Amino acid sequence: MGFLNTILLFLKNLLFVYLNLCVVFISIAQEIDEIENIIEKLSIEEKIALCHAQSKFSSSGVPRLGIPELWMSDGPHGIRAEMNWDDWNYANWTNDYVTAFPALTCLAATFNPDLSLEYGTSLGEEARYRNKDVLLGPGVNIYRTPLNGRNFEYMGEDPYLSSKMVVPYIKGVQQNGVAACVKHFALNNQEKWRNHINVQVSDRALHEIYLPAFKAAVIEGKAWAIMGAYNKFRGQHCCHNKILLKNILKDLWRFDGVVVSDWGGTHSTIESIYNGLDIEMGTPSDKNISHRYPYQNNFLGKPFLEKIISGKVDDTVLNDKVRRILRLMFRTSLNKTRPFGSINNSKHYKTAYNIASEGIVLLKNSESLLPLNKFKKIKIAVIGENAKKAMSVGGGSSELKTDKEISPFSGIKKEFNNANVVYARGYSSNNDNSHELINKAVSVARDADVVLFVGGLNKNAFQDSEAEDRKQFELPYGQIKLLKEISKYNKNIAVILISGNAVKTDWKSDVKAIFQAWYLGSEAGNVIGDVLSGEINPSGKLPFSFPEHLKDNGAHHYGEKSYPGIDGSQFYKEDILVGYRWHDTKNIKPSYGFGHGLSYTTFELLDFQIDKKKYDPKETIKVSCKVKNIGDVDGKEVVQVYIGKKNSKIKRAKKELKGFKKVFVSSDNSIEVNINIDIKELAYYDEKSASWKVEKGNYIIYVGNSSRNISGEIEITIV
């Protein structure tokens, strides 16, 4: 009877799955029929109106048929405050305050896809509450140079990590009936000259480094929208680039969603018509034509209409765009089953706190300066403008309006209420009174038991900010001079770096501890205080390398031709060797390597195993190891699996990340970690055949907790 019951249960579950699939297929068929019926009812003018903006952040609906507008909002770390209808000024509403979530560099540093899902879900709920249909994010452009002003909005230098983190984010957002618009497609890896720089990169680097996260977003994440980039690729602007949007995105990847231009990123009617752009946004309006319809003369406005009416462009091209837009509407603004959403609640603040707490990276902790004992009466000097500076504002389109952003200083005072906490600004981003500020900071530091230096970058122009790259790799605003002065009088210095980018750390020998704190959002100070006291054991890992010198970075090694470009063009001379791939392959030691991150406890990685030694290309490698916590503090560790090819016939990086898993291990305990890697993940992009190939031969599996700290190696063969 037991066997029969098992069979019956299996059949029952199979029937349940079948019936659900039937419901899904029927629903899809009904949606298709409804979309086609709508297309038949639309006039040409109404179809054209769907293809371009009607305001700064919306595109038209069809009032005659009850089809609503599409409303978009900047992200990706929160829902931007409401803007005026047709200018870049804020509308000054009183009900558009939101939760500020940590920047995506912090999310990537968690190495925790579960938190990415939680992030996307909470963000989608806030977007839905604000009646937004399309969230303009996440960003997954690759961290190529530490000077890129917009790196803080992206997920680091590794395409595998970015791919694994972006998919759950998208699913979380879209389960709220809000489209994730993944950006900026593609090769938007610098802000300097972003509107015209012409990127030249090999097909192999394009497919292996710069496209995988977008591909995962489309194929695995089922993203409903993609935003084009400002820059050019091989001479053609990315918002209407035939190779990227038509050949790759829509033909090869079978993307069924909508391509949205970046704001002002459209430059051609003909290219927009034929090369895959669906909705043109942000092109300056002509207010002289009509106050009600100022965007009708955009590239996909009246010029597009005239070409359809004259017969120069077949209406099947227009109908494809309209069909995609209507499909997006049925997923969002016409979706009758989507939830209502919520905003600024305790659940969202808890999500922001959790991500920040797992994203902070402990870079250095000599003499175990951290954590500080919050119950011991010590004098703490907090020095640095960033200790009190709000970081949710500024930075460009990702800036937020929030009524809660706990500053580092406030969080530290709250956490160490038994200590004497004093503050000195130390430096100013306005470069005023530098001598006086330094003297005051030195005076405060001299009398303290511990100095907490809260510095780094900010979201001012030429820092971590849209539209402009950084002008220097070093810490700005005289912070290095200030640190050296303080270190003459107090050696117990912990540096809290607030930034979305790597900085030069040639001052690290002057301090005992450093942790990378990113832009942490609403709960910033609370999390920083809890990390300093040991309430949180840091577990973040760097999603990009910190080079010792700027020239140690692959993009900068080749000079101006590679970055920022010469005569309007730049060549990605480092090719596939981006980030740690460059450092490891060229044997250039970074200041802090990709995947690096310390803990208040000590972990050992032991007993490395694989299921067998030989594999064919269709199989899966099963890697296992033991993580042992030999310290006296509970904590989380990230096991990272890299793979490299021995004696490869093609140019390769020494090793590439192909698997990772974050695990909790209590003090004096161990846990077994299993990571599966499909052999197809080891394929390289063959430019001659324009296909992916797995090279046969011997490979090395590297298991460690960073790209520079490998605990075990295993050799395998692919036959």
Instruction: Give 465's DSSP letter.
Output: -
Q: Provide the token pair at 263.
A: 């704001």
Residue 74's DSSP bridge partners are 136
Query: What DSSP state is assigned to residue 364?
Result: E
- Cis, bond preceding 76 (omega within 30 deg of 0): yes
The span from the CA of 317 to the CA of 303, in Å, is: 14
In the set 74, 133, 158, 262, the catalytic residue is 262
Cis status of the peptide bond prior to 184, with omega within 30 of 0: yes
Rounded to an integer, what distance in angstroms lies between the CA atom of residue 401 and that of residue 243?
38
Residues 395, 411 contacting (CB under 8 angstroms) = no
Catalytic residue check, 262: yes
Q: Are 452 and 383 in contact (CB under 8 A)?
A: yes
CB distance 543 to 156 below 8 Å: yes
Non-local (6+) Cβ contacts of 641 within 8 A are 623, 657, 658, 659, 660, 675, 677, 701, 702, 703
- The candidate with the shortest Cα–Cα distance to 580, out of 601, 600, 561, 596, is 596
What are the start-end ranges of the H helices in 157-196? 159-174
Match 């207010």 to its residue by tokens: 287
End-to-end alpha carbon distance in the chain:
46
Residue 58: phi and psi, rounded to 5, are -145, 155
Shortest CA distance to 220 belongs to which of 187, 175, 185, 255? Answer: 255
- Take residue 516 and report the two structure tokens written for it: 């990378």
Backbone angles phi, psi at 466, to 5 degrees: -65, 150
Beta-bridge partners for 383: 424, 453
Task: Check: CB of residue 643 under 8 Å from CB of residue 658.
Answer: yes
Provide the 8-state DSSP code for 76. Answer: S
Strand order, beta sheet including 236-237: 236-237, 232-233, 198-200, 569-571
How much is the CA Rg of the chain, to the nearest whole Å? 26
* Complete DSSP assignment for 642-677: EEEETT-SS---S-EEEEEEEEEE-TT-EEEEEEEE
**What are 489's two structure tokens?**
């009088």
Cα separation, 259 vs 3, whole angstroms: 52
Query: CA dist 6 to 10, 11, 15, 18, 404, Å?
Result: 6, 9, 14, 18, 54
Q: Which residues are catalytic?
A: 262
